[in-house]
A = this chain, B = another copy of it.
């Protein structure tokens, strides 16, 4: 470990976020403060149908005060396997199940100050069903052709980090 934890103080614990202020000793012997969000794991799903269309959600994001376009995603339940989280969130948010699942990769969304890991999966062979949104969750979804989605990325319409990362994984692994 290049930075040794000397002291760790849990300054906030909420429903979603747990904030710690840690004092660390660096390799050169100097001391520094690290403010860290401890967050549960999450999974996200790049769901592509038989016509090469990607399932994209439009969701209001309070921190930005605007709607964002994102792939389906959500937090893991305690001790839940990341692929199960992906399957559950896809079904809850859109109703879809999938016959084919592939792990695309894991991302560190904001590595300077959170320990969150988002596991990203490719889902194909989509089958519609009934969705079950969480209390207070409101979102729409639609299918966007992969070629159109890439144009939207080019035009700056896709800002969500995990969605852009999923596309980078997909292009590296499957194209």
User: Which residues of chain A have a CB within 8 Å of any CB of chain B?
Assistant: 1-3, 11-12, 14-17, 19, 21-22, 24, 26-28, 30, 32-39, 60-65, 67-68, 70, 105-116, 118, 135-136, 138, 150-151, 153-154, 156, 159-162, 164-165, 167-169, 171-173
Q: Is the CB of B105 within 8 A of A156?
A: yes
Q: Is the CB of B111 within 8 A of A160?
A: yes
Choose among B19, B136, B150, B156 the residue that contacts A12 (Cβ–Cβ < 8 A). Answer: B19
Copies in the complex: 2
Q: How far is the CA of A97 from the CA of B7 in the complex (A)?
A: 39
Q: Is the CB of B159 within 8 A of A172?
A: no
Q: Is the CB of A24 within 8 A of B114?
A: no
The 8 A-B residue pairs with the shortest CB-CB distance in the complex, in nearest-first order:
A164-B165, A63-B115, A153-B172, A154-B172, A161-B161, A164-B168, A2-B60, A168-B168
Residues of B within 8 A of A36 (CB): 62-63
Choose among B19, B27, B39 the residue that contacts A138 (Cβ–Cβ < 8 A). Answer: B27
